[in-house]
Amino acid sequence: MIVMDFQTGDALVLVDLQNDFCPGGALPIEGGHEVVEAVNPWIAAATAAGIPVFASRDWHPEGHMSFQARGGPWPPHCLQDSDGAAFHPRLQLPADAIKVTKGVRFDQDQNSAFDQTGLADELRRRGISRVWVAGLAQDVCVAATALDGRQEGFEVMLIKEGTRPVTAEGGEEALERMQEAGVQVVNAD
């Protein structure tokens, strides 16, 4: 078990810690708000170690193709500039956190923070070789991000207490897929 063992060449990548994915939001994930509390110490440790913090956000146009009205799987969520799309108020993002905006395309969804955002190139440009991933949801955007991170050649550490799934079965299945792809699962407790 490796705990908050940050080193030069690391980045912390926080996926979609937005109001709509927390209880009371448009696409609530059970315990989503607890994830926010769980990642705050990781943000503090990263900042103390000089490790950059990236924060992705789902940022959909009105009537996005991933919404049920368009035949997609999801209720409307994370509408651009809405309160639901805002980062959770208790998330202690540093002022210099680098935001990664996704889900903006009209013609397709982007679950992974790497999907057509240029994130992989930006990480490489900064000399980053290992990413610590946490956020929502474990079986959707976190899994897609962790798997793409591996695909792009990064070491990937999944912060287990820093993520929750939409469904328990989906979460288990995603965890297996991530581990098979070489994602290391770590826990602070």
Per CB under 6 A, the list member of 14, 141, 159, 174 interacting with ligand VGL is 141
Of 43-102, which residues contact ligand VGL (CB under 6 A)?
58, 74
146 binds ligand VGL (CB under 6 A): no
Residues 6+ apart with CB under 8 A from 84: 18, 19, 20, 25, 26, 77, 78
Per CB under 6 A, the list member of 140, 156, 159, 175 interacting with ligand VGL is 140
The distance of closest approach from Cβ of residue 6 to Zn ion in the complex, given in angstroms and rounded to an integer, is: 29
Of 78-97, which residues contact Zn ion (CB under 5 A)?
none
Contacts with ligand VGL: how many residues (CB under 6 A)? 9
Assess whether 22 carries a catalytic annotation.
no
Q: d(Cα 98, Cα 104) in Å, to the nearest integer?
A: 17
Q: d(Cα 123, Cα 107) in Å, to the nearest integer?
A: 26
Give strand pairing partners of 54. Answer: 13, 98
> Which one, of 2, 100, 96, lies nearest residue 52 by Cα?
96
Q: d(Cα 65, Cα 126) in Å, to the nearest integer?
A: 34
Nearer to ligand VGL, 6 or 144 (CB): 144
Q: d(Cα 66, Cα 45) in Å, to the nearest integer?
A: 35
Assess whether 102 carries a catalytic annotation.
yes
Residue numbers annotated as active site: 16, 102, 141
Binding site for ligand VGL (CB under 6 A): 16, 21, 27, 58, 74, 136-137, 140-141
Q: Kindly list the residues in this chain that would bind Zn ion in the complex (CB under 5 A).
A: 58, 103
